[in-house]
Amino acid sequence: MNRNPSLEERVELLSAEVRRLSAQVEELRGQAPQRVPAPGRVAEDLNVHAEPEPADAFFSWVGRSALLQRVSAVCFLMVVALILRTLTDGGWLDVRIGSPAGMLYATLLMLFGWHLYRRPSPLAPVFAVCGALLMFLVVSETHARFTFLPSAFAYLLVIGTGVLMAIISHVSRAPLPILVGTLGMCIAGVAIDYPNPAYPGLVLLLFSANALGFVASRVRRCSWLRWTIFLVTAVLIQVWGYKIGLTLTGQAQPSGDLAKGWFFPSLVIFALGYVLAALYGILRPAGKKIARFDLALPVVAGVWAFSLTAYVADAWLGNLWGVVLLGASAAIAFFSLALWLGQRSGPEKVAATSFFLGGAVLGALVVGKVADAPLLAMAILVGAALGAAVISAQWRQGSLRLVSYLLQFYVCFELGRWLLADIARAPSLGTLLLAAVLGGAAFWHYRWCLRTPPPAESRFFSKLDDGNRLCVFLLLTALGHGFYFARGAYALMVADYAGEGLHGFMGMQSVLISVGAVLVMIWSLAREDREMRNLAVLITLFGAVKVFFLDLFGLSGQGIEGFPLVVSVFSFGVAIAIQSLVLGRWLRVGTPTPRTGEEKVSEQASASPATQR
């Protein structure tokens, strides 16, 4: 037997093996199921990434939102209401039957909307909102055109509608009914008996609206609703107070019953309610963050309530001791709450700034407006500013530090406004000393802020004032008080200040501004402080406006073209010359000095081994 097949035999064996394997593959392929893709599937695979047409997207949104169903439902509900209105206006139905029928129809719509909310149904908000709006319209129009619906009953119906909508929102966890109901209450309350409302009923309605606004903020964060209700309340109560004041002073004739006995209790209840609601929102916020409304409400409500109380008490009683005690108690309470909140570790610590600012402003109002001592009020505000700066470092509160800046700047502005209100009035020795004290306090505040950087936790200072540059405004404030001090000193030295002395000081003011700009520029060079240099340039620009616009046109226009005008222009020229020299030194200080090769070698030799590595 030949054990070594030839080449031809090997080829035949391999060919037979290939044929056998091919037959097995064909047999396996015949046993496998044939999968033919459906035409629809192929089309879907081809269009899976295709963008939908705009018209298709719009109609898809219309179908999902049930827009057409809701519009159709509104039309049918309006038809029924218009039929009742037409029958009543045409005399087919007596007004004592048509109006109650409209109110009953509106109530049934709200109740049916409540039922649909429980299912739930896309038509639920349509029935609830249409019922509430229809109730407000029927009540307002019935009370305005006919006399059988008293004011008290009209207010109660409006309040009841708002309460029912709030209940629907609370049970269904839907914010729309309470939003519509609360806003409708405010609008209907203004419309009833306009412009001479029944104030007891109006007060009850406004109190209910604010309570419902507070409830709405717990369902959904809607600070805009609470701001709207607060503004409506503040305007209506303000108008009420002005009417009482004008009537008591004889400047206007009484129109309707002003219900003066309700005013002070109502105002106290509103102010106390606002503060308690803000405190509750601060301690137990509805969301993760405290609402801005709750943070701003103590200051806004406190200032509004105190100012209005002081105005009416002055016109009515002529004795403000009660207002002084009330305002002082409120200021002490605000400071106490600020200290209590500042020592807490939660997010409510931020609200300490709001109560501190409220206490400072109330304290200043008590002393300044009521006790007729505006200068003492400014001193209190400056003291509050210094206290806020120190406490801000302890509490790590950047907002409190910013409040201290604002208080200092406001005091400087207010002192200038008070001095310039009667420019011919010679300042007294007390005003001179006060300006010196306030200037020294502002300068100490500036130096303290330079040594104490803002807290790193503050988002405002870390993003907008990372280099602690805003404290330069405190220096500007100190310069402003120094200007007031110079004005007072000049007034005390000049005998005829109200005459020629006043005209002379108009020119000397430019001298003071120019000297201040030069001193700040020299100081900036000595300290190599760019912010101080920029402040000096700003003061110089202000002096240029004063010299070339006010002095040249103001003094010469009044016929005062002598020595004051010469001194004004000359002092500004000298200031510009000195500042040009100082700025030249600044350029040499800012330009790095080129180093020689020996200096570089010595510097490298003195470097540490770790630095060389």
pLDDT digits (tens, 9 = 90+) for 426-442: 567 777 888 889 989 99
% of residues, the chain, pLDDT over 90: 19
CA proximity to 206, closest of 257, 270, 275? 270
Q: Is the pLDDT of residue 8 over 80?
A: no
Q: Is the pLDDT of residue 85 over 60?
A: yes
45: three-class secondary structure by DSSP: helix
CA atoms within 13 A of residue 2's CA, in its CB half-sphere = 6
Q: What is the mean pLDDT of residues 3-22?
A: 72
Long-range contacts of 406-412 (CB under 8 A, 24+ apart): 407/360, 407/381, 407/382, 408/382, 408/442, 408/445, 408/473, 408/474, 408/477, 409/473, 409/477, 410/381, 411/378, 411/381, 411/382, 411/385, 411/438, 411/477, 412/438, 412/442, 412/477, 412/480, 412/481
What is the Cα 493 distance to its own chain's centre?
Answer: 47
Longest dimension (CA), the chain: 151
Long-range contacts of 264-267 (CB under 8 A, 24+ apart): 264/309, 264/312, 264/313, 266/199, 266/203, 266/237, 267/237, 267/241, 267/305, 267/308, 267/309
Question: Among 29-43, 442-456, 542-556, which stretch is predicted with the lowest mean pLDDT?
Answer: 29-43
Structure confidence at residue 132 (pLDDT): 92
pLDDT digits (tens, 9 = 90+) for 260-293: 889 999 999 999 999 999 999 888 887 778 888 8
Position with higher pLDDT, 508 vs 361: 361
Q: What is the mean pLDDT of residues 93-114?
A: 87
Q: Give residue 334's pLDDT band: very low, low, confident or very high (50, 70, 90).
A: very high
Structure confidence at residue 29 (pLDDT): 65
**Alpha-carbon gap, residue 136 to 183, rounded angstroms:** 11
pLDDT digits (tens, 9 = 90+) for 349-408: 888 899 999 998 888 888 777 655 677 888 888 998 999 999 988 888 888 998 899 899
Q: What is the mean pLDDT of residues 442-449?
A: 90
Residue 556 corresponds to which tokens in the numbers above?
A: 């010469």
Structure confidence at residue 267 (pLDDT): 93
Structure confidence at residue 611 (pLDDT): 39
Question: Among 13-27, 28-42, 176-190, 576-590, which stretch is predicted with the lowest mean pLDDT?
Answer: 28-42
Q: What is the domain partition of the chain in residue ranges? A: 66-258, 498-588
Q: Give residue 496's pLDDT band: very low, low, confident or very high (50, 70, 90).
A: low
Question: Among 91-100, 304-313, 554-563, which stretch is predicted with the lowest mean pLDDT?
Answer: 554-563
pLDDT digits (tens, 9 = 90+) for 13-59: 777 777 777 777 777 766 555 554 455 544 444 444 445 555 444 43
CA proximity to 419, closest of 480, 503, 500? 480
Q: Is the pLDDT of residue 189 over 70?
A: yes
**Alpha-carbon gap, residue 141 to 150, rounded angstroms:** 12
Q: What is the mean pLDDT of residues 565-575?
A: 76
Q: Is the pLDDT of residue 206 over 90?
A: yes
Q: Is the pLDDT of residue 466 over 50?
A: yes
Q: Is the pLDDT of residue 121 over 90?
A: no
Q: What is the mean pLDDT of residues 296-300?
A: 91
Structure confidence at residue 58 (pLDDT): 42
CA proximity to 511, closest of 532, 534, 538, 490? 490
Mean residue pLDDT across the chain: 78
Q: Is the pLDDT of residue 190 over 70?
A: yes
Q: Give residue 445's pLDDT band: very low, low, confident or very high (50, 70, 90).
A: very high
**Alpha-carbon gap, residue 123 to 116, rounded angstroms:** 7
Q: Is the pLDDT of residue 161 over 90?
A: yes
Please tell me the total number of residues recorded for the chain in this structure: 613
Q: Give residue 174's pLDDT band: very low, low, confident or very high (50, 70, 90).
A: confident
Most trustworthy range by pLDDT among 106-120, 498-512, 585-599: 106-120
